[in-house]
Amino acid sequence: MTLVLLDSASLYFRSYYALPDSLTAPDGTVVNAVRGFADTIARILTERRPTRLVACMDADWRPDFRVEALPSYKAHRVADPVNNVEEVPDTLTPQVPIILDVLDAFGFAVAEADGYEADDVIGTLTHREKTDPVEVVTGDRDLFQVVRMEPTPASVVYVGRGWARAEVLGPRELADRYGLPPENAGLAYADMALLRGDPSDGLPGVTGIGEKTAAKLITKYGSLDALLAAADTSPSDVPLRVRTALTDAASYVAAAPLVVRVALDAEVVQDRDDRVPTAPRDLDRVRELQEKWDLGAPIDRLLAALPG
């Protein structure tokens, strides 16, 4: 028994860029992301064999609470500042409703939370799960923070380099990869990432503290809060250059936890039971979508991958 949580936007963005835009429907609509997303789910069902699956969606790609805490958050990706619209390729946007139609016709569960990102939906559903192991499928390292040992194991299937090079990272693998303590590797990763920063998300980090130094500091002191407490102690065993860097970045360090850490208490709305369907909910609708959008083999592979 396993619950798989899909970081849907991460996966369909990667499908969009991995497959040629010459893959089109009869009306000319580009469908490369739809085809790639369907194939991704088929591979997950075949190779990971989950009993439960939820496609987690962004209800808000750049939530107000994060922007208020740190205005630089994803600011470079904004196409329309007035309406807070993300810069997305013109030929990808029309594919998202098709993906949702396919998920609905098959009967896969879809979840989102008003005012939150898919990461927060994943964080909340993982936090709530007390029965089955959890696997998060994503191409985004931010979700490494959800790995855990208890009360059920949670790991990340990281497909940032493609499915053929997918990596399954649990607490031990994450600890070994970054030099973090295995007993709280997920939380430690979030604190390390906060110090390191991430230009792709508009997170400046703490100047002079790179990934290796951040990992050593979090491992030594146990958490960001413990590091800050040690830096404020007199005398302090935190190196002077680190104390100076933390002081210089004090406003960022105070605001960033709300931005970096996924929510664990989002009000998630899920459209149906998350058990993997043994057969499509509406086969006629599946075939209609397959023909309308010329989804061909990916839909056949997804049908074949269903456990029934």
CATH code assigned at 289: 3.40.50.1010
Of 99, 25, 94, which is closest to residue 56 (Cα–Cα)?
99
Q: Which two tokens stand for residue 166?
A: 């997918």
User: Is 68 inside any structural domain?
Assistant: yes
In contact, 292 and 31? CB cutoff 8 Å: no
Contacts of 167 (CB under 8 A, 6+ apart): 157, 158, 173
Q: Which two tokens stand for residue 67?
A: 């922007």
pLDDT < 50 positions in the chain: none
User: Is 83 inside any structural domain?
Assistant: yes
Distances in Å between the Cα of 30 and the Cα atoms of 89, 294, 298 are 11, 10, 15
* pLDDT (0 to 100) of residue 215: 95
* pLDDT (0 to 100) of residue 36: 97
User: Is 101 inside any structural domain?
Assistant: yes
DSSP element (H, E) containing 109: strand 109-112
User: Is 136 inside any structural domain?
Assistant: yes
Buried b (16+ CB within 10 A) or exposed e, 175-198: beebebbeebbbbbbbbbbbbbbe
Of 137, 103, 91, 116, which is closest to residue 285 (Cα–Cα)?
103
β-strands 52-56, 3-7 pairing: parallel
DSSP element (H, E) containing 111: strand 109-112
User: Is 182 inside any structural domain?
Assistant: no
User: Is 166 inside any structural domain?
Assistant: yes
Domain range enclosing 275: 3-171+263-305
* pLDDT (0 to 100) of residue 79: 61
Give the chain's domain count.
1
Distances in Å between the Cα of 26 and the Cα atoms of 9, 104, 135, 265, 292 are 25, 22, 36, 43, 7
